[in-house]
Amino acid sequence: MSAFREQEGEKERYHVTTATTIPDRGADRLSEAKKLILQQRDEFLGRAAEFNALLDYMNVLESGSTRSHELTLLPLVEKDEYKGVQLSPAVEDYLPKRKGHRIPFLRVVADMLLGGVDPGKRQHQSDPTKLMAHKLKHMMGRRRDLIAWEPDIGPLRTITAERLIIWLAEEPQKNTTVRR
């Protein structure tokens, strides 16, 4: 950096030159805009999971698999109530709060998603509702001491999610072994 003084009549001017480059404000603005767009995208994806859960809940109501007045009696799940909690402990907390109610499977899936339970990842599946349904069915097969369901015919994987209704098991179901 160098400086020199120039005198014009009664005024003095100073000139400063520098070898360093002055940062381009355009690049900073672009970077800030990119960060904002990425943040909004992440928020949008989170909201998309909520919308999918609500649509699944509406499908349950439309299907008539349970009476809608029974569904309104169930305690509501707060958004992110189970954030950071694995599925099994979340269901262990969820079902006792709804003891005595038979809950449509898709309602439980929607509540777990709304509650913030991570649906996980699979290579060939990206829909959070389908991922959570798969994960919950898998857990149901292992936790018959906790979850009872109907119809209880054949392998669980062959029963469509729309037909399943689950509740808190009072005692383990017949002909089952509980694996932990």
- Determine the length of the chain: 180
* Number of neighbouring beta carbons within 10 Å of residue 145: 14
pLDDT value, residue 92: 94
Residue 60, SS3 per DSSP: helix
pLDDT value, residue 112: 94
CA distance to 38, 57, 87, 150, per residue, from 154 (Å)? 46, 25, 24, 11
Structure-token match 């996980």, residue found: 120
pLDDT value, residue 2: 45
Sorted by where each begins, the domain ranges of the chain are: 30-168
DSSP H helices in the chain: 25-63, 68-73, 87-97, 105-115, 128-142
Amino acid identity, position 119: P
pLDDT tens over the chain, length 180 residues: 444 455 555 555 555 555 545 455 667 888 888 888 888 877 777 677 667 667 766 766 666 655 554 555 678 888 899 999 999 999 999 999 988 888 889 889 989 999 999 988 877 878 888 899 989 999 998 898 899 888 877 777 778 888 888 888 885 444 444 333
Apex CA 45: angle with CA 42 and CA 50, to 5°?
130
The three-state DSSP-derived secondary structure of 75-96 is CCCCCCCCCCCCHHHHHHHHHH
120: left (phi > 0), else alpha (psi -120 to 50), else beta? left
pLDDT value, residue 1: 45
